[in-house]
């Protein structure tokens, strides 16, 4: 549960809000704060997170133009919508934030368009699955406009206009959601090493390039167990785990962070999408010979209420048969398949094992051969 600064103080922990750290002197072990005071430290944890990328669009600072990275951004958007008559919303970008916000804004009655410079949303997923996202947006009355490039935002007679290569789009509210990048300015100034991803380089104990300094969350790298590479995947569950690992190491109950397999998911209206591991491009870059296929089936026997069509893509290594990645999409059952397969990826299973995994079967909860089995067995034939 979240605690207030007062509650922390009762536990002997000082929490300073609205307090920018201007500079850290690593030789003295002191952090200088914006109010001119400074604090000494034995251990320092950097959890500066990430910040929204804002393309250099003229007009990006106009009222009604937002990014969404933290709680305060959310409150600002909410207040704006409550105070101004907002009928039309434009969302620039089709990643997780774009997808979640198109649903949220649609649900409060706004006309919503998602504008994307690429030709399909959430391109971590296979085109067969991002196509389902396009169809779900269309079914729910959200416009998806591909291949559009904004050039400026203008304000005229009570309306915002996004000027683009496809002409102007009017709006009462514009959300720029084209991605985030790790916030590493302070870490750079302190001379900490950054990894190839641009995030702070850490080891398995969450230590940065100085032993007394830890980095956790969106600003830090994390070890990917499938690619065997350090990556930067800015997700809240990873941040939570890294924070706990750093805390244990500082507190004298050491542990190493075992890494991740890149499990992720989102929901847009009724559709669940989930993925774990590597896609073909990442697999090839990590030195594997990826082979993949997609199978379609039902989340439950088709006669059962709640049964939904679900697609499952698996990626494996031709040389070893090792499972490298999985993606799923459907109205239900997608996340649950991916969580099971995340565990298989974690353990380095090969697809022969995946094809015979023991999963709980009963007609109201699954089929005797699950889509996981079917997917692994079909992929086997392509190796």
Tell me if 347 contacts a copy of itself by CB under 8 A: yes
**Hey, CA dihedral for 28, 32, 38, 41, is it positive or negative?**
negative
Nearer Cβ to a copy of itself (149/347):
347
Verify binding: residue 68, a copy of itself, rule CB under 8 A: no
- Residue 243 beta carbon to a copy of itself: minimum distance, rounded to whole angstroms: 10
Of the pair 41, 269, the CB lying nearest a copy of itself is at 269
CA atoms within 13 A on the CB side of 1: 4
With binding defined as CB under 8 A, does residue 368 bind a copy of itself? yes
> If binding is defined by CB under 8 A, does position 265 make contact with a copy of itself?
yes
Is residue 362 within 8 A of residue 334, CB to CB? The reply is no
Q: Where are the alpha helices (DSSP H) in the chain?
A: 5-10, 71-83, 96-107, 127-139, 185-189, 236-251, 280-285, 334-347, 351-354, 371-382
Q: Does residue 343 touch a copy of itself according to CB under 8 A? A: yes
**CA 113 to CA 90: how far, in whole Å?**
5
In this structure, are strands 88-92 and 173-176 parallel, antiparallel, or unpaired?
Answer: parallel
Residue 360 and residue 367: Cα distance in Å, rounded? 9
Which one of 196, 211, 361, 382 is in contact with a copy of itself (CB under 8 A)? 361
Among 160, 173, 213, 274, binds a copy of itself (CB under 8 A): 274
Q: How many residues bind a copy of itself (CB under 8 A)?
A: 50
The reply on whether position 231 binds a copy of itself by CB under 8 A is: no
Compare residues 63 and 363 and give the one whose CB is closer to a copy of itself.
Answer: 363
Strands 213-215, 44-46: pairing is parallel
Window contacting a copy of itself (CB under 8 A); options: 107-115, 137-145, 198-206, 270-278? 270-278
Among 122, 176, 276, 278, binds a copy of itself (CB under 8 A): 276
Alpha-carbon span 265 to 329, nearest angstrom:
10
Provide, rounded to whole angstroms, the least separation between the CB of residue 34 and a copy of itself.
Answer: 30
State in angstroms the smallest separation of the CB of 326 from a copy of itself.
10
CA torsion 359→361→364→369, rounded to 10°?
A: 80
DSSP for 160-175, written as a single string = EEEEETTEEEEESEEE
Cβ atoms within 10 Å, residue 301 = 14
Question: Which SS3 state, helix, strand or coil, does residue 43 take?
Answer: coil
Do residues 356 and 377 make contact, with C-beta atoms less than 8 angstroms apart?
no
User: Which of the ranges 109-117, 122-130, 212-220, 251-259 carries the binding residues for a copy of itself, by CB under 8 A?
Assistant: 251-259
Report if residue 272 touches a copy of itself, rule: CB under 8 A.
Answer: yes
CB of 360 to a copy of itself, least distance (A): 4
Residue closer to a copy of itself (CB basis): 96 or 169: 96
Instruction: Report the DSSP beta bridge partners of residue 163.
Output: 152, 168
- Is residue 143 exposed (0-12), middle (13-18) or buried (19+ Cβ within 10 Å)? middle
Residue 70 lies near a copy of itself (rule: CB under 8 A): no
Q: How far is the CB of 363 from a copy of itself (least distance, A)?
A: 9
For a copy of itself, the closer of residues 38 and 378 by Cβ is 378
Per CB under 8 A, does 26 bind a copy of itself?
no
Q: For a copy of itself, give the closer residue by CB, 33 or 255.
A: 255
Residue with tokens 């190493």: 256
Q: Which residue has the tokens 């870490």?
A: 187
**Going residue by residue from 294 to 333, which x/- string records binding to a copy of itself, judged by CB under 8 A?**
----------------------------------------
Taking the least distance from each CB to a copy of itself, the nearer of 41 and 223 is 223
Residue ranges binding a copy of itself (CB under 8 A)? 96, 225, 235-238, 240-241, 255, 257-267, 272, 274-276, 335-336, 338-344, 346-347, 349, 352-353, 356-362, 364-366, 368-369
């Amino acid at each position: 549960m979240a605690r207030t600064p007062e509650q922390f103080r009762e536990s002997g922990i000082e929490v300073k809000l609205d307090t920018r750290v201007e500079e850290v002197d690593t030789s003295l072990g002191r952090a200088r704060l914006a109010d001119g005071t400074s604090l000494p430290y034995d251990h320092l944890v950097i959890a500066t997170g990430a910040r929204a990328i804002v393309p250099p669009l003229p007009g990006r600072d106009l009222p009604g133009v937002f990014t969404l990275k933290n709680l305060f951004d959310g409150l600002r958007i909410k207040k704006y919508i409550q105070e101004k008559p907002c009928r039309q919303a434009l969302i620039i970008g089709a990643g997780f934030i774009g997808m979640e916000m198109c649903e949220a804004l649609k649900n409060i009655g706004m006309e919503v368009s998602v504008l994307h410079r690429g030709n399909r949303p959430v391109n971590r997923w296979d085109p067969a699955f991002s196509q389902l996202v396009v169809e779900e947006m269309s079914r729910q009355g959200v416009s998806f406009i591909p291949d559009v490039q904004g050039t400026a935002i203008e304000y005229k007679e009570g309306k915002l206009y996004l000027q683009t290569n496809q002409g102007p789009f009017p709006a009462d509210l514009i959300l720029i959601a084209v991605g985030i990048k790790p916030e590493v300015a302070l870490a750079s100034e302190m001379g900490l090493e950054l990894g190839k991803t641009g995030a702070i380089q850490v080891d398995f104990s969450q230590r940065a390039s100085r032993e007394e300094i830890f980095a956790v969350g969106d600003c830090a790298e994390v070890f990917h167990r499938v690619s065997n590479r350090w990556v930067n995947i800015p997700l809240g569950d990873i941040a939570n785990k890294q924070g706990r690992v750093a805390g244990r190491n500082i507190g004298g109950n050491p542990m190493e962070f075992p890494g991740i397999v890149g499990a992720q998911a989102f929901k847009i209206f009724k559709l669940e999408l989930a993925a774990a591991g590597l896609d073909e491009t990442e697999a090839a870059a990590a030195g594997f010979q990826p082979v993949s296929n997609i199978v379609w089936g039902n989340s439950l026997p088709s006669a059962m209420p709640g049964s939904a069509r679900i697609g499952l893509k698996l990626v494996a290594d031709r040389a070893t048969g090792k499972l490298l990645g999985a993606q799923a999409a459907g109205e239900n059952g997608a996340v649950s398949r991916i969580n099971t397969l995340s565990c298989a990826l974690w353990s380095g299973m090969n697809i022969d094992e995946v094809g015979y995994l023991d999963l709980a079967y009963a007609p109201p909860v699954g089929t005797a051969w699950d889509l996981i089995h079917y997917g692994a067995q079909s992929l086997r034939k392509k190796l």
